[in-house]
Structure 1
Amino acid sequence: MMDPELLGDSAKLEVRNVGGIDETTVEFAPGITILAGRNATNRTSLLHSIMAVTGSDDASLKADADEGRVELTVGDERYVRTFTRTNGTVTTGGEPFLDDPEFADLFAFLLESNEARRTVARSGDLRELIMRPVDTEAIRTEIQQLERERSQIDDELDELDELKPKLPKLEQERTRLESDIEEKREELATTEADIEALDADVDETREEKRELESRLDELREKRSSLEQIRSDIDLQQESLESLTAEQRELEAERDGLPDAPMGEHHELDDEISRLRERKEQFEREVSDLQAVIQFNEEQLDESGSVATHLDDDTGSVTDTLVDQTVVCWTCGSSVKQEQVTDTLDQLRAIRQEKLEAIRSVESELSQLKEKRETYREHQNRRESIDRKLSDIADEIEDRETQIERLRSQREELSAEIETLEAEIETLESDDFGDILDLHKEANQLEFELGRLESDLDDVVDQISSIEEQLTEESQLHTQREELTEELRNLRTRIDQIEATAVEQFNEHMATVLDILGYENLERIWIERVERTVREGRRHVERTQFELHIVRSTDTGATFEDTIDHLSESEREVTGLVFTLAGYLVHEVYEMVPFMLLDSLEAIDSARIADLIDYIADYAEFLVVALLPEDAQALDETYTRVTDI
């Protein structure tokens, strides 16, 4: 984005060995700068130099030079683009204004070869042109990521909803346990009081009593240990069941994963490599074609071309062109300038075909990479499942071993308890029967009390855990709302760009037509429609921009026409307004301060002046290349450059 502090500063451009320029320095004030002059005065080369230093590749090194340089100074900021020829190959370097010039190439650098202008003229795909710089794939990827995050939050909220009904039951269980504990404590206190009362009558048999109490304490400890072992067995059994269920789920998931033979992986890698090489070949061909096209444009410019104007009364192209020939700079023979122009058009068409081929290869590359990534994800998931299944198998084996050990301990303790109970029975006598019963009862009450307290601790922990999780519910709902809003914005972003582009074009087109006053041309507007198109074997819905042209007859009746029937002037104006819509929709004015205009000869001088005045409101620096007679129609206060 352009630094706001740079706005209002002048700009200085220094060029050496670019296009047809040996060396020049030009200063631009904010507003309109007119490059006035005849052909072969390096006006186009200067525009290409501006494009080069802002990041565009649509510029070339001077044919007889090995090094070239463009330097742009705006305020305190300096930007440089260098050209170096080595073994016949030109490489670029430096630090240009933009890292990615795509928006500027399409919507700010409006030379004759500008793709947006030419697309309108040949009834091309306007919607594709507007949306090309928008990374729709990145938007879709972001949408998928946000959907996954929202789904995860939904799962967490569902879990909280499942926890809510458990809370009242757990609180009831806590109340019950607290009540039971209180009752057990009262029973134990009563039993211990009874024991103390009987202890006063059996002082003389204290030794026997201690032996019995020792046996009873040992019995209580072993019963507690037995109960703990039983609880441990239950926990191990639950864990074993959970592991077995998880093992079945993972095995089912692994069986459901598609097989991806390694041979197919290698085939994909080979195909991706082949397509990359093909893309690189196309890019080299495009680069070579661009160099040839620009060289011929410059040579044609230097040879002198004939500008044609619209008749001020009719608005149509003049019927007669000045018969002019040029000397072919390849064979030295005289040829019609029109032949050279036709050849250039053919080269531009070939370059456009190559660019479309590059986009096609990029699309195929993207699909193959996605397919390869899917294969890799399946393979990684399979390997992850295998590792987890191995870990689960080891853990199952460990749980089973622990269960066997615990069962063995349970049997040993049961046998020891039986032995203790038998010993205690032999120690009992009629004199100590009551106190022994009381001690047994006290031991049992203490054991039951311990178990109730342990159960209460578990319930309290569960309640605390649920209450802590429920405190996150409000935050989760807020996060979900924010994600939903982001998704809504992303899903409508493409629609908003399309709708805004159509709105901007229609609004500006209506204003410009009113300003320029074309006769019998009532309206030019774009309609955004949905069309069913074929993609491979599928039919899908796609948005398209349909250009409508409405004319009127001398009687006032209106009818719809096609762009093929527009005059050259009308087509050029339509193309420029379309690029202006793209310029505003994508806010290109925040990316680069320059807008460049060239090849306006098809429009008459008065209309050129009106059109430039209109466009000037939207660019910091508007640089226009004009013939002297066209430049005269503009306000004399505008900066003029006549010597390059």
Structure 2
Amino acid sequence: MKTNQNVENRETPEQAALSVTNIGGIEETSVSFQQGITVLSGRNATNRTSLLQGIMAALGSDRASLKADAEEGSAVLEFDDETYRQTLRRQNGTIVTDGEPYLEDPEIADLFAFLLESNEARRAVARGDELRDLIMRPVDTDAIKAEIRQLEQRKQRLDEQLGELDDREDRLPDLEAKRTRLADEIEELREELETAEEALESTNVDVETRREERSELETKLDELRDTRSELERTRDRIDTERESIEALEDEREEVEANVDELSTGEEADIGRLEAEIDALQDQKDGLNEEISQLQRTIQFNERLLENPGEFLAGNGGSAGGDGALTDQLLAEGDSETVTCWTCGSSVATDQIETTIEQLRTAHQERLEERSTINDDLDERRATLTEINENRTEYRQATRRLESIDDEIERRRDRIDELTSERESLTEEIDDLEDEIDDLESDGSEDILEQHREVNQLEFELERKERERDEVEDEIASVEDRLGEREGLEARREEVTEELTDLRTRIDRIEEDAVEAFNEHMDNLLETLGYDNLDRIWIDRTTRDVREGRRKVSKSSFDLKIVRSTDEGAAYEDAIEHLSESEREVTGLVFALAGYLVHDVYETVPFMLLDSLEAIDAERIAALVEYFESYAPYLVVALLEEDAEALAEEHDVVTEI
């Protein structure tokens, strides 16, 4: 967390120039700013807030208002040899914006950098709203959760591959032992074969008289040996096919169990959920429109209080440019009443303030209602996604079952073919043995038996050598796969680190926000010296809530306040019991915490402060100078008497 970042160490242009046309109560003006604090000093209705809106508009915010008698306005910011512009235009009863402002997305600036009276962070503290959701709004938690799911699947695949390597490695000692045993058996067979061949060679028979019989006999013996070899290979193929069928049947049991766990009767749920999502989205769209209209109405009435002359300008022309009348009406606006710009009647300022407060309450209710709808939408979309994933997995498992059944059937047919082939070879061997028996004659029994022994030994030796080659191939394959372990483990470690980072990212942001608020609140309370206000801090707690079909832990920010009596006894208090000055300071510090934890100063060069009248001048000066350490450009709108404490050391703008 960069709570101690001093902006003077960052590369930020030393000055900026702003031109504003037809925004708020400003018809046309240009102002230059230097890095550091700029004070907009003046009495009420001198367009200080309107100039702040002009800065907001040039930076990209859509919360600036168009002058009441204008169809189009603009704000242009010259900054770092670049020019940024946004125009405002009336269209079908609403204000639309266009151009190339400084920010593509102004949401985070509206929340934590543009701290006007209606700023949502300030108001949330004053009303005692849930603060965690506000501080986490710029964080795309859905994208983080989706990325976590993808990484979990990748880690699972790596774990399966590493588990397979472990199984292969466990088999390696058995394979090596088998290879050694086969090598010994092959050596013994070779020795036995050599002895048998020597015995056959030394046998003394009448070769000349037995040559023809012996030649035919040897041919039959060779044929018998080849047939027996073919029979052995056929038996091996039958065993292989049976082992494959057993493995396929085991896999089928696993797939069938998975299919049984998956739900397939959720078509009605899908239709219902899609209908509910559409209905909730329509409600949300309607609320968005209401919220926008309420915001515009609030801003309009705030400007009416601040600068009633802005709304009299359009009627002034029709009055023949009677300056005395306008001065009189403005004088009324500066006292306890404001003249209505439409009908000319006087309206008490407290009545307008009451109306503004009612509008703000309605605005907040709509925001809360929209937040509830957002939660409902998230829950239903998560449920729908889970159902669709279930259906996809069910279809894949069903197709795999069909594929396994086809494969099992094909291998059974192959076994039938091989069994027939084995029976045929067995019959052929029987026939050959009968023929060999017929060829045997007196004096030839020994040599025939020796031939049989040699043939059998040759056959057995060939089979053992083939088995040894298969074992060596399998050992080589295992050793090759084990060579992949290091790369797999490195990838798994990378994925695990990414998962840990993602899983803790939200927690870290929350912790940093709480730490930033508590640190700066402690510092400012000590600096500002409020009587009997010992401490204000945020306590981060967790609670279990439902998200789709699952229960998840969700954080909550609880604002804690401790006061002390005149006798020194401490007691816990509530936000609504704070003075207006204390509430405003708390709201500003909460906004500062969001500004720092989201590194807003890296993308938004301006921080704007307005409506600080509830705080006394000495504390305003201390507060503003504290904020200066964290914002490249800090622009503050103050009443003349409040600005005096800052005027000697910082730039002051009095004419707008």
**TM-score, normalised on structure 1?**
0.89
Q: Do 1:260 and 1:379's aligned partners in 2 also have CA atoms closer than 8 Å?
A: no
Q: Which runs of 5+ in 2 are unaligned?
A: 311-332
Q: Do 2:19 and 2:75's aligned partners in 1 also have CA atoms closer than 8 Å?
A: yes
1: CA distance, partners of 2:334 / 2:43:
16
2:376 maps to which of 343, 361, 364: 364
Q: Do 1:293 and 1:348's aligned partners in 2 also have CA atoms closer than 8 Å?
A: yes
1:117 maps to 2:122: yes
Name 1:33's counterpart in structure 2. 38
2: CA distance, partners of 1:92 / 1:27:
24
Q: Do 1:326 and 1:336's aligned partners in 2 also have CA atoms closer than 8 Å?
A: yes
Moved more, 31-40 or 396-405: 31-40
Name 1:417's counterpart in structure 2. 429
Q: CA deviation at 1:613?
A: 1.0
CA displacement, residues 301-326 of structure 1 (integer Å, 9 cap, x when unaligned):
21279xxxxxxxxxxxxxxx985100
1: CA distance, partners of 2:23 / 2:238:
86
Moved more, 571-580 or 175-184: 571-580
Letter matched to residue 407 of structure 1: T
2: CA distance, partners of 1:80 / 1:439:
103
C-alpha change, 1:83 and 1:218, in structure 2 (3 Å) is farther
Corresponding residue SS for 1:40: coil
Corresponding residue SS for 1:166: helix
1:343 maps to 2:355: yes
2: CA distance, partners of 1:576 / 1:525:
13
Name 1:189's counterpart in structure 2. 194
C-alpha change, 1:192 and 1:67, in structure 2 (3 Å) is farther
2: CA distance, partners of 1:538 / 1:455:
54
CA displacement, residues 564-588 of structure 1 (integer Å, 9 cap, x when unaligned):
3332222212221222222222222
Corresponding residue SS for 2:216: helix
1:265 maps to which of 264, 270, 290: 270
Corresponding residue SS for 2:534: strand
Q: Do 2:39 and 2:647's aligned partners in 1 also have CA atoms closer than 8 Å?
A: no
Name 2:621's counterpart in structure 1. 609
Q: Do 2:383 and 2:549's aligned partners in 1 also have CA atoms closer than 8 Å?
A: no
CA displacement, residues 384-413 of structure 1 (integer Å, 9 cap, x when unaligned):
222222222222221121111111111111
Question: What pairs up with 1:158-237 in 2 under 5 angstroms?
Answer: 158-198=163-203, 202-203=207-208, 205-237=210-242
Letter matched to residue 643 of structure 1: E
2: CA distance, partners of 1:452 / 1:535:
62
Corresponding residue SS for 2:61: coil
Q: CA deviation at 1:615?
A: 0.7
Q: CA deviation at 1:180?
A: 0.9
Corresponding residue SS for 2:646: coil
2:54 maps to which of 46, 49, 58: 49
C-alpha change, 1:543 and 1:399, in structure 2 (3 Å) is closer
1:278 maps to 2:283: yes
2:99 maps to which of 79, 94, 104: 94
Letter matched to residue 241 of structure 1: E
Question: What pairs up with 1:475-514 in 2 under 5 angstroms?
Answer: 475-514=487-526
1: CA distance, partners of 2:276 / 2:282:
10
1:22 maps to 2:19: no
1: CA distance, partners of 2:96 / 2:529:
47
2: CA distance, partners of 1:528 / 1:368:
28
Q: Do 2:379 and 2:548's aligned partners in 1 also have CA atoms closer than 8 Å?
A: no
Name 2:388's counterpart in structure 1. 376
Q: CA deviation at 1:75?
A: 1.0
Corresponding residue SS for 1:26: strand
Corresponding residue SS for 2:420: helix
Q: CA deviation at 1:501?
A: 2.6
2: CA distance, partners of 1:535 / 1:93:
38
2:455 maps to which of 438, 443, 454: 443
1:243 maps to 2:255: no
Q: Do 1:150 and 1:480's aligned partners in 2 also have CA atoms closer than 8 Å?
A: yes
1: CA distance, partners of 2:210 / 2:549:
102
Moved more, 120-129 or 477-486: 477-486
Corresponding residue SS for 2:381: helix
Q: CA deviation at 1:212?
A: 2.2
Name 1:302's counterpart in structure 2. 307
Q: CA deviation at 1:507?
A: 2.3
Q: CA deviation at 1:360?
A: 1.5
Q: Do 2:263 and 2:391's aligned partners in 1 also have CA atoms closer than 8 Å?
A: no
Q: Do 1:9 and 1:74's aligned partners in 2 also have CA atoms closer than 8 Å?
A: no
Corresponding residue SS for 2:307: helix
C-alpha change, 1:460 and 1:269, in structure 2 (3 Å) is same
Corresponding residue SS for 1:165: helix
Name 2:534's counterpart in structure 1. 522
Q: CA deviation at 1:6?
A: 5.1
Q: CA deviation at 1:600?
A: 1.0
1:453 maps to 2:465: yes
Q: CA deviation at 1:448?
A: 0.9
Name 1:594's counterpart in structure 2. 606
C-alpha change, 1:94 and 1:322, in structure 2 (3 Å) is closer
C-alpha change, 1:210 and 1:566, in structure 2 (3 Å) is same
C-alpha change, 1:557 and 1:267, in structure 2 (3 Å) is closer
Moved more, 534-543 or 332-341: 534-543
Q: CA deviation at 1:617?
A: 0.5
C-alpha change, 1:355 and 1:553, in structure 2 (3 Å) is closer
Q: What is the percentage of aligned positions where both structures have the same residue? A: 55
C-alpha change, 1:221 and 1:542, in structure 2 (3 Å) is closer
Q: Do 2:222 and 2:455's aligned partners in 1 also have CA atoms closer than 8 Å?
A: yes
Q: Which runs of 5+ in 1 are unaligned?
A: 306-320
User: How many pairs does the alignment contain?
Assistant: 628
Q: CA deviation at 1:557?
A: 4.7
Q: Do 1:157 and 1:476's aligned partners in 2 also have CA atoms closer than 8 Å?
A: yes
Q: CA deviation at 1:197?
A: 4.0
1:620 maps to 2:620: no
Letter matched to residue 71 of structure 1: V
2:16 maps to which of 1, 11, 15: 11
2: CA distance, partners of 1:171 / 1:303:
95
Q: CA deviation at 1:477?
A: 4.4
Q: Do 1:83 and 1:92's aligned partners in 2 also have CA atoms closer than 8 Å?
A: yes
Q: CA deviation at 1:200?
A: 8.8
2: CA distance, partners of 1:161 / 1:29:
66
1: CA distance, partners of 2:281 / 2:533:
48
Q: CA deviation at 1:109?
A: 1.1
C-alpha change, 1:426 and 1:504, in structure 2 (3 Å) is same
C-alpha change, 1:358 and 1:611, in structure 2 (3 Å) is same
1: CA distance, partners of 2:136 / 2:92:
39
Moved more, 398-407 or 289-298: 289-298
Q: CA deviation at 1:431?
A: 4.2
Name 2:326's counterpart in structure 1. none
Q: Do 2:13 and 2:79's aligned partners in 1 also have CA atoms closer than 8 Å?
A: no
Letter matched to residue 450 of structure 2: L
Corresponding residue SS for 2:44: coil
